[in-house]
Amino acid sequence: MYGFPRQERLLKRTDFLRISGQGNKIHTSNFILIWTESPVSAVRIGITVSGKVGNSVCRNRLKRLIREFYRLSKGLFVPADYSIIARKGAARLEFSEVCQELGRALRRLHAEQC
């Protein structure tokens, strides 16, 4: 339940391109959340943190924080494909701030779909 198995990950470039081309977006101050219907009717996420965010230590730390948020908050995600893109200021965030910001974005997503 709390894991992050391979079938819940977006790994292929074609999936990321499909999501960015067809998906709906929510912008926050430090993240862009893009989602679209999943061809496998399950939750799958992909995380993108570019070199503009910081050095490799900062990027990998931020990816770990986002994965941990997903792992602990799977109930907030409806079955779809998600791409979470970190923006420049995201490297300075603590785990609680990442959780708050992504949690608010997902709640906004649910409010828009209802």
How much is the pTM?
A: 0.91
Distance (Å) of CA 104 to CA 31, 43, 51, 59, 81: 11, 18, 25, 22, 18
DSSP conformational letter for 49: -
For strand 31-36 and strand 24-27, is the pairing parallel, antiparallel, or unpaired? antiparallel
Q: What is the pLDDT along the chain (114 residues), one digit of tens a residue?
A: 678 888 899 999 999 999 999 999 999 999 999 999 888 889 999 999 999 999 999 999 999 999 999 999 998 999 999 999 999 999 999 999 999 999 999 998 878 765
Task: Give the pair of three-digit tokens for residue 55.
Answer: 């050095």
Query: Domains of the chain: which residue ranges?
Result: 6-113
The torsion angle over the Cα atoms of residues 64, 68, 69 and 71, rounded to 10 degrees, is 140
CATH code at 6-113: 3.30.230.10
